[in-house]
């Protein structure tokens, strides 16, 4: 999953980025409103953390522009504790949730997980595909109850495919959602990670749909060609 943080407090944005990366997210940071609007307008994020008091373009204006232009990713706004009017304005502009400063990073993580899973139609952080169990809260995966050792990129790939289980996902989409902006995003590396995952979770769990992409499935349910 790929998250955008738009926050002009450099220390806070770095702290949030580190917390998100520790649990398996790809993270981009913008420290002013202009860059934040541009990234949200041009990159496919799974969720955005948006401060309202930004230089150049304020958070409310950014959010209004995104929603007017059809950007549907979930947005959590960050507000000052005593600015209740900002919360109302944020929701009216299209925000999905809010946090008041100061806050604990664990609360932000929990709210992000809730927004991402609701956007994908899930009710919990844990996803089961047959005997494969993916726990997005703990950033861990299990097969037949046994833990699997995964690198951060392998878990990002597995997590994204699990959230969208049963759907064919193109290599381009996978590249856009598991790598941050600074990573050398070569779609050929997806094949490498898919190969590694197959060795770790079972070769029959990830189906290649020729010319279209990959699908994570329960092997006991059988394959369905498109």
- How many domains does the structure of the chain reveal? 2
Q: What is the pTM of this model?
A: 0.79
Give yes or no for a contact between 144 and 166, defined as CB atoms under 8 angstroms apart: no
pLDDT below 50 — which residues of the chain?
A: 224-226
Which of 57, 90, 119 is at the close of a domain? Answer: 119
Give yes or no for a contact between 4 and 40, defined as CB atoms under 8 angstroms apart: yes
DSSP 16-85: HHHHHHHTT-EEEEESSHHHHHHHHHHS--SEEEEESS-SSS-HHHHHHHHHHTT----EEEEEETT-HH
Residues in a beta bridge with 78: 51, 99
Q: What is the pLDDT of residue 207?
A: 93
Q: What CATH number is given to the structural domain containing 215?
A: 1.10.10.10
Q: What CATH number is given to the structural domain containing 66?
A: 3.40.50.2300
Q: What is the pLDDT of residue 226?
A: 41
Distance CA(38)–CA(57), nearest Å, equals 11
Residues 106 and 49 in one domain: yes
Which of 94, 119, 144 is at the close of a domain? Answer: 119
Tens digit of each residue's pLDDT (9 = 90 or more) over 188-226: 788 889 999 999 999 899 999 998 999 999 887 755 444
Q: What is the pLDDT of residue 185?
A: 63
Residues 6 and 115 in one domain: yes
Q: How far is CA 93 from CA 15, 37, 100, 111, 171, in A?
A: 27, 14, 17, 19, 33
Q: What is the pLDDT of residue 13?
A: 95
Residues 9 and 84 in one domain: yes
Residues 67 and 170 in one domain: no
Give yes or no for a contact between 190 and 175, defined as CB atoms under 8 angstroms apart: yes
Please name the residue that has the structure tokens 């969720």.
47
Structural domain includes residue 226? no
Q: Which two tokens stand for residue 16?
A: 């949030």
Distance CA(55)–CA(34), nearest Å, equals 8
Total residues belonging to the chain: 226
Which of 91, 119, 147 is at the close of a domain? Answer: 119
Domain range for 200: 126-221
SS3 content of the chain, % helix, strand, coil (to 5): 40, 20, 35
Q: What is the pLDDT of residue 211?
A: 87
Please name the residue that has the structure tokens 């979770």.
201
Nearest to 101 by CA among 152, 148, 49: 49
Q: What is the pLDDT of residue 225?
A: 43
Residues 67 and 135 in one domain: no
Structural domain includes residue 196? yes
């Amino acid at each position: 999953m790929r998250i955008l943080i738009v926050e002009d407090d450099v220390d806070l944005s770095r702290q949030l980025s580190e917390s998100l990366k520790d649990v398996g997210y790809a993270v981009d940071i913008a420290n002013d409103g202009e860059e934040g609007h541009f990234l949200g307008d041009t990159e496919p994020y799974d969720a955005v953390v948006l401060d309202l008091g930004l230089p150049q373009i304020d958070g409310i204006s950014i959010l209004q522009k995104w929603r007017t232009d059809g950007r549907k990713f979930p947005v959590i706004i960050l507000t000052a504790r005593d600015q209740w009017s900002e919360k109302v304005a944020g929701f009216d502009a299209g925000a999905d949730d809010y946090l008041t400063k100061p806050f604990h990073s664990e609360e932000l993580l929990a709210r992000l997980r809730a927004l991402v899973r609701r956007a994908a139609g899930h009710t919990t952080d844990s996803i089961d595909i047959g005997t494969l169990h993916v726990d997005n809260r703990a950033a861990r995966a299990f097969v037949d109850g046994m833990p699997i050792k995964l690198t951060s990129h392998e878990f990002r790939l597995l997590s994204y495919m699990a959230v969208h289980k049963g759907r064919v996902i193109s290599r381009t989409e996978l590249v856009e959602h598991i790598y941050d902006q600074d990573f050398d995003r070569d779609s050929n590396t997806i094949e490498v990670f898919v190969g590694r995952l197959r060795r770790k979770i079972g070769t029959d769990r990830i189906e290649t749909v020729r010319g279209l992409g990959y699908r994570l499935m329960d092997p006991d349910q059988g394959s369905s060609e498109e």
